[in-house]
Amino acid sequence: MKAWKGIMGGRVGQWAIRFGMAGSMGIALVHGAPPDPSFRNDVLPILSKAGCNGGGCHGALAGKGGFRLSLFAYNPEADHLAITREAQGRRVEVSEPGLSLLLTKPTGAVPHKGGRRIEPGSEDYRTLARWIAAGAPGPREDDPRVTRLIVEPAEREAAPGGKVDLRVTAEYSNGRRRDVTRWARFTSTDETVASVDGAGTVTVLGPGLGAVTAWYASQIVVARVVAPHPHAVEDTAWAALAGTNRIDQLVLAQLRRLRLQPSPRADDATLLRRMTLDTTGRLPTPEEVREFGSDPDPSKVGRWVDKLMARPEFVDAWTYRWSDLLLVSGAKLRPAALKAYHGWIRSRVESNTPWDRMVRELVTSRGSSHEDGASNFYAIHQDPESMAENVSQAFLSLSINCARCHNHPLEKWTNDQYYRFANLFARVRAKGWGGDARNGDGKRTVYVEARGDLIQPRTGKPQPPAPLDGKALDPADPRDRREALAAWLTSPGNPYFARAIANRVWAAYMGVGLVEPVDDLRASNPASNEPLLAALADFVVANGFDLRALMRWILTSETYARSGEPLDLNRDDRRHYSRHFARRLPAEVLSDAITDVTGVPDRYTELALSDGSSEATTQFTNVTRSLQLSDSSVRSYFLRTFGRNQREITCECERSNQPSLVQVLHLSNGNTVNGKLASTEGWLARRLAEEKDDGRLVEEAYLRCLARPPRAAERAALAAQFAAAGPEGRREVAEDLFWSLLTSREFLFQH
């Protein structure tokens, strides 16, 4: 024992002298000794920084080695109990702090699978020892709480190879400030631009706009690092790019700061194809290509945008997009309910209902699922937790799911906040048997009780109902809590609502969101151009949440009209819109484009209710366009192969635009392209019979598929092909021509 005491510091007095302590058992031995450490504000930050309560260590669901802590200290009371009472109290030795497992394990004095986490004699070691010597006091209700984090410098410009030292300061509820840099956890959001070590020293690795997040006590703050590209951009490159609106000014300001040269404006044919596909999901016709190209009016883009947005296909496209977000699917709803839900969405898009009103109607909906279409939101999400999670994800782009079990490890949301928010939905009820896709009539009636609360499992008590970061409601108030939620949710002052929808719409037209993924607006995932996102959100609010006005603002900007051709001075850009970013057409748009070119419609099978019967039957529908389908569960090999949204969860990750070998094989050998081109009733068969001039046929093929005329070299090569084939081989050459165009990158991609 004497040898052991010698290793660990002996009795309290010996240990105190060895490590420069001034206290024992909470009693000061030297005048002016620091106060006893706080379990909440001193001990837990040390354990969090050391990773002891991380998901890979004792913060795991089952803990490690019989020792379990709450993930990143979300439950201080339970952590104190586990440290001081479990394992027969061996984790803390008040009379012999140096013998405490809380010190011997992380210092490696005794075997520890987690390795050495704390250095013997370090400031963290001494703090833990002083806390143990003081009697290991637990957390108190009147402990000061962290209310705000500050990082300095908040933004710094540095060249690759440069370093920036960050300092993190915590503000507490008692007005105190404290430097917590040594206990903060740092993460770089883009390791290609900057890395950060545990002490908060940022090393710039390459050009771009980087961000480093600092986490402390469930608070997150972001510091930005601007690393301009090494090359210089001539002033003449900016002279002709003043832009048409505030969007262009903010984009160009960032490009200039990063020294990224913007690509020139796209040609008329490319721009028209881009606008038409983005707004309506359809290709422009040859007639529209000729008309747009021959119009010399500089303001023609605005007129064409208005024309495109007035078409019914625009309604189809955005009804489909919102149906993805709101999970309209026959796998979740019976046909009559699905029809009502889809019809409600379509009517709101068609009438250009402001987004805040549409969301308010949805969140506060009640009534029959067959007659009040919006109420089907509560048929899909039937418990308070899933209601809360999906409202947050769909309308705030915030994933709070992790906070259901513990404080969110990547965000500021706590377990208490989660259950306050979920309690807003605790009184939502439904009567009637909805059934599944095979049973029941799917009719449910949503109503709200005057009483009822959601119990938080950790405490066994309900949390006061409250919006995220919002004021708590009176738990005894019998009124529908969703009304207060909707008022907070759609308020112009809500810091998330307008930003979330602005980012979604921007991503729909620009291909890349200012925040990526688009439904992940957590503080630790900052925007690539924060001033621009703020301007878009302000525009949404100023225009009464009129999304068509926002779309028009984006579509008429020079940023949107920029060419997709990379330059030497912007080739590496993926986030700052120096050029238009190419992306593969969504599955439904691609399917419709092939149909438009070939003139051969698709037929889909879907569930439908027989007249006068509640039984579901399978029928064929003659819907020719994928974007008009109301149900994502209709069977289609093409749509499934090309990554349509299955509408299982509220997440953009449900859709995939990534190319695959299966897609390549299907386009090359499958029936979608080959079968339609070979059809005797398709456009090509009819046109071959009517048009005898091979040159005009080639012209129409390019205009119909690529929205541009063929180039001279293309004309010459194809003329030779037709001439060599003669009349007997004309059909085969024509099919090969259309096949090559329909499987080309120029056709498959939006550019």
Could you tell me the CATH number of the domain that includes residue 221? 2.60.40.10
Residues 95 and 200 in one domain: no
User: What tokens does 740 get?
Assistant: 């090559």
Token output for 729: 């081989």
CA 514/CA 497 separation, integer angstroms:
15
Same domain for 34 and 150, yes or no, is no
Q: Give the model's pLDDT for residue 405.
A: 76
Three-class secondary structure of residue 677 per DSSP? helix
What string of H, E and C letters represents the secondary structure of 211-274? EEEEEECCEEEEEEEEECCCCCCCCHHHHCCCCCCHHHHHHHHHHHHHCCCCCCECCHHHHHHH
Spatial separation of the C-alpha atoms in residues 706 and 585, rounded to whole Å: 13
Are residues 184 and 99 located together in one domain of the fold?
no
The pLDDT value recorded for residue 616 is 40
pLDDT digits (tens, 9 = 90+) for 25-76: 232 333 345 678 999 999 999 999 999 988 889 988 788 988 998 888 888 9
Determine if residue 593 is left, alpha or beta; phi over 0 gives left, psi from -120 to 50 gives alpha, anything else beta: alpha
Q: Report the candidate in 38, 1, 74, 66 with the shortest Cα–Cα distance to residue 414.
A: 74
pLDDT of residue 271: 97
Share of the chain above pLDDT 70, in %: 90
Give dist(CA 539, CA 505) in Å, integer. Answer: 12
> Can you point out the beta strands (E) in 558-669?
583-584, 604-609, 616-621
* pLDDT computed for residue 589 by the predictor: 96
Measured CA to CA, the distance from residue 407 to residue 428 in angstroms comes to 26
The CA-based angle 37-39-45, given to 5 degrees, is 95
Q: Which of 78-82, 342-346, 538-542, 608-612 has the lowest mean pLDDT?
A: 608-612
> pLDDT value at position 546?
98
> Can you tell me the distance from the alpha carbon of 280 to that of 291, in angstroms, rounded to the nearest whole number?
18
Residue 597 carries which side chain, given as an amino acid letter?
A: V
Token pair, residue 671, equals 């029936």
Q: Which residues of 682-704 are buried (b: 16+ CB within 10 A; e: fewer)?
A: bbbbebeeeeeebeebbbbbbbb
Question: Is 532 within a domain?
Answer: no
Same-domain pairing of 388 and 475: yes
User: Are residues 85 and 183 part of one domain?
Assistant: no
Q: Flag whether 59 is in a domain.
A: yes
For residues 63 and 395, is the Cβ–Cβ distance under 8 A?
Answer: no
pLDDT at 617 over 50: no
What average pLDDT does range 416-433 have in this prediction? 90
pLDDT in the model for residue 440: 59
Whether residue 743 lies inside any domain: the answer is: yes
Last residue of a domain, one of 438, 458, 489: 489
Q: Which domain holds residue 57?
A: 2-133
For residue 261, the number of C-alpha atoms closer than 13 Å in the C-beta half-sphere is 18
Once rounded to an integer, what is the mean pLDDT over residues 321-346? 93
Q: Structurally, how many domains does the chain consist of? A: 4
Residue 605 pLDDT: 65
Instruction: Return the residue matching tokens 């709803």.
Output: 333
Tens of pLDDT, residue by residue over 541-560, are: 999 999 999 999 999 999 99
Q: What is the pLDDT of residue 231?
A: 86
Note the Cα 43 to chain centre separation in Å: 34
What SS3 class is residue 674? helix
HSE, CB side, 13 Å, CA atoms: give it for residue 45: 24
Percentage of residues of the chain with pLDDT beyond 90: 71
Contact 182, 46 (CB under 8 A): no
Q: Is the pLDDT reported for residue 604 higher than 90?
A: no
Q: Describe the chain by its helix, strand, coil percentages, rounded to 5.
A: 45, 10, 45
What are the beta bridge partners of residue 149? Answer: 170
Integer Rg of the chain from CA: 31
pLDDT at 290 over 90: yes
**To the nearest whole number, what is the mean pLDDT of the chain?**
88
Token pair belonging to 293:
């190209």
**What SS3 string covers 342-394?**
HHHHHHHHHCCCCHHHHHHHHHCCCEECCCCHHHHHHHHCCCHHHHHHHHHHH
- Give every CB contact of residue 33 below 8 A, 6+ residues apart in sequence: 22, 23
> Could you tell me which residues are beta bridge partners of residue 164?
202
| 638 within some domain | no
pLDDT tens profile 426-462 = 999 988 865 444 555 668 899 999 999 999 988 899 9
pLDDT in the model for residue 433: 63
CA-CA distances (angstroms) from residue 77 to 139, 413, 473, 534, 738? 6, 18, 26, 40, 70
Buried b (16+ CB within 10 A) or exposed e, 310-347: eeebbbbbbbbbbbbbbbbbbebbbbbbbbbbbebbbe
- Does the pLDDT at position 286 exceed 60? yes
Cβ–Cβ contacts within 10 Å for residue 114, how many? 17
Contact, 730 vs 713, CB < 8 A? no
Dist CA 686 CA 60 (whole Å): 66
Q: Tell me the residue type at 586.
A: P
pLDDT in tens, 184-221: 999 998 999 999 999 999 999 999 999 999 999 888 89
d(C-alpha 8, C-alpha 297), whole Å: 85
The reported pLDDT for the residue numbered 656 is 85
Distance CA 724, CA 698 (A): 15
pLDDT at res. 697:
95
| 18 and 74 together in one domain | yes
Average pLDDT in the 271-300 region? 96
pLDDT score at 72: 83
Mean pLDDT of 629-655: 89
Kindly give, in sequence order, each residue whose CB lies less than 8 Å from that of residue 680, ignoring residues fewer than 6 positions away: none
* Residues composing the chain: 751
Asked if 628 and 319 count as a contact pair (C-beta separation under 8 A), the reply is no
Q: At 613, is the secondary structure helix, strand, or coil?
A: coil
Q: Which of 152, 198, 155 is closest to 177 using CA atoms? A: 152
Residues 403 and 389 sit within 8 Å (Cβ to Cβ) = no
pLDDT at 441: 67
For residue 578, is it within any domain? no
3-state secondary structure of 5: helix
* HEC sequence for 464-531: CCCCCCCCCCCCCCCCCHHHHHHHHHCCCCCCCHHHHHHHHHHHHHHCCCCCCCCCCCCCCCCCCCHH
Tens digit of each residue's pLDDT (9 = 90 or more) over 92-133: 999 899 999 999 999 999 999 889 999 999 999 999 999 999
d(CA 35, CA 699): 85
* pLDDT attached to residue 36: 86
Asked if 675 and 721 sit in the same domain, the reply is: yes
C-alpha to C-alpha distance for 408 and 218, rounded to whole angstroms: 8
The pLDDT tens digits of the residues spanning 667-703 come to 998 889 999 999 999 999 999 999 899 999 999 999 9
Residues 55 and 181 in one domain: no
Q: Do 428 and 368 belong together in one domain?
A: yes
Q: At residue 473, does pLDDT exceed 50?
A: yes
| CB atoms near residue 226 (< 10 Å) | 18
257 neighbors 226 (Cβ within 8 angstroms): yes
**Do 45 and 172 share a structural domain?**
no
Does one domain contain both 409 and 466? Answer: yes
In this structure, is residue 467 part of a structural domain? yes
Q: Is residue 364 part of a domain?
A: yes
For residue 9, the model assigns a pLDDT of 39
Domain endpoint, select from 459, 489, 519 = 489
* 133, 167, 199 - which closes a domain: 133
Residue 65's pLDDT is 87
**Does residue 190 lie within any of the structural domains?**
yes
Q: Cα–Cα distance between 246 and 252 in angstroms, integer?
A: 10
Q: Which segment of 202-211, 367-376, 620-629 scores lowest on mean pLDDT? A: 620-629
Give Cα separations from 398 to 350, 497, 719 (angstroms): 27, 10, 56
Same domain, residue pair 160 and 118: no
